[in-house]
C-alpha cells in the first residue's frame, strides 16, 4: 500500500504560493534564501525515495515545462518516475510516464494508494493537498519553512471538517536558518 507524503516550501505565515516561479506577487520567494548543501541533499534524497509523484494540473504544467530540460540525479528521477495528475482539463500529457486521473479526488487517490507500493509524493499542488488532508489521505507532511512573512498568498492549511493529530518525527535546520520538519499522522 502506498503512503502519501506532502512536501512544501512554506513561509512563516503559511504561504505556499509561488515559491518557485508561478505568477505571484512575490514570485520565486524561496530562491532568496540559500538552503545549503544539507537542504539540497534533503530534497534530492526525498525525491529519490519516492515511487511516484501525485500533482495537480498547475504544478504539472510548471514541472513539465522545466524538468525535461534539466540533467542530473534529481531531473533523472522526476523525468522517469510515474506521475499522476489530478485534472479535469488535461487530456494529453506530454511529460514522460504521466497519467491523468479524473473524478472524485478522495476516491481516486484512495485507489492509487492501493495500486502504488511505496511513497507517493505530493509537491506543491495546494488545492490537491487541501483535498487530501480533508479526505484523511495524507500520511506525512514535510515542510521546508523559509524565514519570511509574505503577508499575502494562498496558504497550505485551510478549513477542515475535523481535527487531526500529527507527530513530529524529524527536525533539522539547513542553510540560512531554514527548518525542515517532518510530521506523521498520529491518529484521529
* Domain ranges, residue 136: 2-187
Q: Are 184 and 169 in contact (CB under 8 A)?
A: yes
Please, what sign has the CA dihedral across residues 67, 50, 133, 182? negative
Quote the pLDDT of residue 136.
Answer: 93
pLDDT reading at 188 higher than 60: no
CATH number of 134's domain: 3.40.430.10
Residues contacting 110, CB < 8 A, separation 6+: 135, 137
pLDDT reading at 115 higher than 80: yes
Quote the pLDDT of residue 4.
Answer: 98
pLDDT tens track for 80-94: 999 999 999 998 999
Cell 520565486 locates to: 28
Quote the pLDDT of residue 121.
Answer: 98
Quote the pLDDT of residue 79.
Answer: 96
Q: How confident is the model at residue 118 (pLDDT cuts 50, 70, 90)?
A: very high
- Virtual torsion, Cα 133, 131, 74, 30, nearest 10 deg: -80
DSSP 16: -
Domains of the chain: total: 1
- Per the document, the length of the chain is 188
pLDDT tens track for 27-67: 789 999 999 999 999 999 999 999 999 999 999 998 999 99
pLDDT tens track for 1-37: 999 999 999 999 999 998 876 678 887 899 999 999 9
Quote the pLDDT of residue 137.
Answer: 96
143-171 mean pLDDT: 92
- Strand-pairing partners, residue 84, are 54, 99
Amino acid at each position: 500500500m502506498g503512503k502519501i507524503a506532502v512536501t512544501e516550501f512554506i513561509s512563516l505565515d503559511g504561504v505556499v504560493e509561488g515559491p518557485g516561479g508561478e505568477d505571484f506577487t512575490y514570485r520565486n520567494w524561496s530562491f532568496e534564501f540559500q538552503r545549503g548543501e544539507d537542504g539540497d541533499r534533503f530534497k534530492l534524497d526525498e525525491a529519490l525515495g519516492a515511487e511516484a509523484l501525485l500533482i495537480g494540473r498547475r504544478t504539472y504544467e510548471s514541472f513539465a515545462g522545466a524538468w525535461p530540460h534539466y540533467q542530473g540525479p534529481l531531473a533523472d528521477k522526476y523525468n522517469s518516475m510515474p506521475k499522476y495528475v489530478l485534472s479535469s482539463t488535461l487530456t494529453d500529457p506530454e511529460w514522460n510516464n504521466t497519467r491523468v486521473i479524473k473524478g472524485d479526488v478522495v476516491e481516486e487517490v484512495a485507489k492509487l494508494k492501493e495500486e502504488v507500493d511505496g511513497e507517493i509524493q505530493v509537491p506543491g499542488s495546494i488545492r490537491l493537498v487541501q483535498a487530501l488532508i480533508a479526505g484523511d489521505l495524507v500520511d506525512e507532511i514535510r515542510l521546508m519553512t523559509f524565514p519570511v512573512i509574505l503577508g499575502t498568498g494562498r496558504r497550505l492549511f485551510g478549513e477542515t471538517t475535523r481535527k487531526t493529530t500529527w507527530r513530529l518525527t524529524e527536525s533539522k535546520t539547513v542553510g540560512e536558518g531554514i527548518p525542515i520538519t517532518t510530521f506523521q499522522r498520529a491518529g484521529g
